[in-house]
């Protein structure tokens, strides 16, 4: 069952004790297994942001489940709890005593909620946990981009039933590829290890597999690289915050009024995985011209991802109104963000 919302006291701000990790070959595999551990089954619907990397939806699809897209908020770039609660109030209905909630339009079970901490900025987790509690949704955090980010003093990826990280080559630290599943539930941690090692039961010589598992183990060489990278993580995070401050100073001195730099949400500490410029709506039509000029000058600027409901595989998936996500997608420009630039 999903957990109750965290208490707003000092205890809820402490690091999670006995946090267990299971390493995987990449973040997508970690999210796929985490969703399976959370009880997601074929034909279930899983609520995810439309503004996220395609891997979030792919992990849902690999289980035969259906992504259900929700809107984002301007302040965090993550799921908007107010908009989501309003949407569910008209879209979700009880399935029966103890059977959870379903989408009244499709008849499918609403099983999980997956906040993604966009570009490393934490979502409004308290409000999203409250929604997960009220609608009996398992909350699984996609913290692929937010290693080192904290929400009210506590690390992202540790609030839900499970959380996942990515160590891809473009992340804050890398193992060349790789990911991890986080949970403080020993039973889920043991099951995660079982599923990611081909579901082989311990035995001195027999190969007995009690369920369908995956060969999702991280190779030792990659893990060794990750251990070395972890030693440098504090320096990487400090460099990225320094770079964010330098960008802020540069744009403040420029007098530019038609754009703003994304700042960490109140009460949060972001890892600033990507430095993000957000254009005003009135100049959104100049985004592509800016991308062209900067890339011609050798600066690797990038837009946000194509929204998931606009991709061919996911065009027919259920979705809430997405006005903010669609606006943000027109206006976001990601700036060079390497820790080495600081």
Under the banding of pLDDT at 50, 70 and 90, the label for residue 24 is: confident
Residues 130 and 239 occupy one common structural domain: no
Three-class secondary structure of residue 268 per DSSP:
strand
Among residues 200, 224, 248, which one ends one of the domains? 224
* Domain-terminating residue out of 224, 255, 271: 224
Query: Which CATH number goes with the domain that contains 251?
Result: 3.90.1150.10
Quick one: 104 and 243 in the same domain?
no
In this predicted structure, the answer to whether residue 46 has a pLDDT above a threshold of 80 is yes
Average pLDDT on 159-167 reads 97
206 and 286 within one domain: no
Query: Is 14 in the same domain as 162?
Result: yes
Residue where one domain finishes, among candidates 183, 201, 224: 224
Q: Is residue 208 part of a domain?
A: yes
Does some domain include residue 324?
A: no
State pTM to two decimals.
Answer: 0.92
* Residues 260/277, Cβ–Cβ less than 8 Å: yes
Is position 320 within any domain? no
Identify whether residues 290 and 185 lie together within a single domain. Answer: no
253 within some domain: yes
Query: For residue 17, is pLDDT > 50?
Result: no
- Same structural domain for residues 220 and 257? no
154 token code pair? 């506590």
On whether residue 255 sits in a domain, the answer given is: yes
To which residue do tokens 């913290």 refer?
A: 143
Structural domain that includes position 290? 233-306+332-341
Query: Do 121 and 241 reside in the same domain of the chain?
Result: no
d(CA 158, CA 184): 8
pLDDT of 290 over the 50 cut: yes
5 belongs to a structural domain: no
Residue 321 lies in a domain: no
Q: Is residue 201 part of a domain?
A: yes
The CATH number covering residue 206 comes to 3.40.640.10
Mean pLDDT of the 208-213 span: 93
For residues 164 and 136, the answer to whether their CB atoms sit within 8 Å is no
* In a shared domain, residues 220 and 245: no
Report the share of the chain in percent with pLDDT over 70: 94
Specify the 3-state DSSP secondary structure of 241.
helix
112 and 40 co-located in one domain: yes
Does the structure show a pLDDT above 70 at 171?
yes
Sort 229 into a burial class: Cβ within 10 Å, 0-12 / 13-18 / 19+.
middle
- One domain for residues 80 and 178: yes
As a whole-number percent, the residues of the chain with pLDDT over 90 amount to 87
Question: Where residue 4 falls among pLDDT bands split at 50, 70, 90?
Answer: very low
Do 282 and 175 belong together in one domain? Answer: no
The b-or-e profile of 74-97 (16+ CB within 10 A means b, else e) is: eebbbbbbebbeebbeebbeeeee
Q: What is the pLDDT of residues 233-282, one digit of tens each?
A: 999 999 999 999 999 999 988 878 899 999 999 999 999 999 999 999 99
How many domains does the chain contain in total? 2
Same domain for 290 and 250: yes
């Amino acid at each position: 069952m999903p957990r109750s919302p965290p208490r707003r006291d000092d205890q809820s701000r402490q690091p999670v004790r006995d946090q267990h990790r299971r390493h995987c070959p990449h973040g997508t595999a970690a999210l796929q297994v985490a969703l399976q551990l959370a009880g997601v089954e074929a034909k279930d619907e899983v609520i995810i942001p439309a503004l996220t990397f395609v891997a979030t939806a792919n992990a849902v699809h690999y289980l035969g489940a259906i992504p259900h897209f929700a809107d984002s908020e301007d302040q965090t770039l993550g799921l908007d709890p107010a908009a989501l609660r309003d949407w569910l109030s008209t879209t979700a209905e009880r399935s029966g005593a103890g059977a959870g909630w379903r989408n009244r339009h499709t008849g499918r079970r609403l099983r999980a909620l997956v906040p993604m901490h966009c570009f490393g900025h934490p979502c409004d987790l308290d409000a999203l946990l409250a929604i997960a509690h009220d609608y009996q949704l398992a909350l699984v955090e996609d913290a692929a981009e937010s290693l080192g980010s904290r929400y009210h003093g506590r690390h992202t990826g540790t609030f839900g039933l499970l959380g996942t990280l990515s160590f891809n080559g473009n992340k804050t630290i890398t193992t060349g590829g790789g990911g991890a599943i986080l949970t403080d539930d020993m039973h889920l941690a043991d099951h995660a290890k079982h599923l990611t090692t081909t579901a082989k039961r311990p035995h001195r010589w027999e190969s007995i597999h009690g369920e369908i598992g995956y060969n999702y183990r991280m190779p030792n060489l990659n893990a060794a690289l990750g251990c070395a990278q972890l030693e440098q993580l504090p320096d990487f995070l400090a460099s990225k915050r320094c770079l964010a401050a330098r960008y802020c100073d540069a744009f403040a001195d420029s007098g530019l009024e038609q754009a703003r730099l994304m700042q960490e949400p109140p009460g949060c500490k972001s890892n600033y995985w990507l430095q993000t410029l957000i254009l005003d709506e009135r100049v959104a039509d100049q985004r592509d011209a800016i991308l062209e000029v900067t890339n011609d000058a050798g600066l690797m600027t990038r837009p946000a991802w194509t929204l998931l409901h606009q991709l061919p595989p996911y065009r027919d998936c259920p979705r809430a109104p997405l006005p903010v996500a669609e606006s943000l997608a027109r206006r976001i420009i990601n700036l060079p963000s390497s820790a080495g630039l600081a």
